[in-house]
């Protein structure tokens, strides 16, 4: 299918229940955590909320949230101005939401899409949730 309207094309991009997010959720459940999804009463509607540990988890796409030092975290060479504006705004919004959550007493964990591919690193990162409090 060919799209001429950028908004039409962008509407097809999933922001919830992405493959990396589902992998993290399954692993969390497997190691014993129970959670809520996309709480609208918290800044940024975090992907995963662990109320018992006052912790939120965002599973960020490396491209969409500009993961530094990652091959997927880059600005495309075409339509650079549009992508730069869009991605910079995403990064700014992430910082704002993280600050708001911390002021409310929440701990914030960011898991990058590329980190999901390494299960041992992911398990290690998620296992620290209980010891952060």
Structure confidence by residue, pLDDT tens digits, 113-123: 999 998 888 98
Per-residue model confidence (pLDDT) at position 5: 57
Exposed, middle or buried, 67 (CB in 10 Å: 0-12/13-18/19+)? buried
Average of pLDDT values for 129-133?
69
The per-residue pLDDT for range 10-24, each reduced to its tens digit, is 544 556 789 999 999
- Cα gap 133→32, rounded to integer Å: 17
pLDDT band at 9 (very low <50, low <70, confident <90, very high): very low
What stretch of H or E contains 27? helix 19-30
What is the rounded CA–CA span in Å between residue 36 and residue 33?
Answer: 10
Residue 47 has a pLDDT of 96
| pLDDT tens string 30-74 | 989 999 999 999 999 999 999 999 999 999 999 889 898 888 888
Fold of 18-127: Endonuclease; Chain A (3.40.960)
């Amino acid at each position: 299918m060919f799209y001429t309207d950028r908004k039409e094309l962008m509407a097809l991009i999933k922001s919830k229940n992405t493959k990396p997010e589902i992998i993290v959720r399954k692993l969390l459940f497997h190691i014993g955590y129970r959670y809520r999804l996309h709480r609208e009463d918290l800044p940024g509607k975090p992907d995963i909320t662990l109320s018992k540990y006052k912790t939120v988890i965002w599973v960020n796409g490396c491209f969409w949230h500009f993961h530094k030092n990652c091959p997927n975290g880059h600005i495309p060479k075409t339509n650079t101005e549009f992508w730069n504006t869009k991605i910079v705004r995403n990064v700014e919004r992430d910082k704002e939401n993280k600050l708001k959550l911390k002021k409310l007493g929440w701990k914030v964990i960011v898991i990058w899409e590329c980190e999901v591919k390494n299960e041992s690193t992911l398990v290690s990162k998620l296992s620290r949730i209980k010891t952060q409090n």
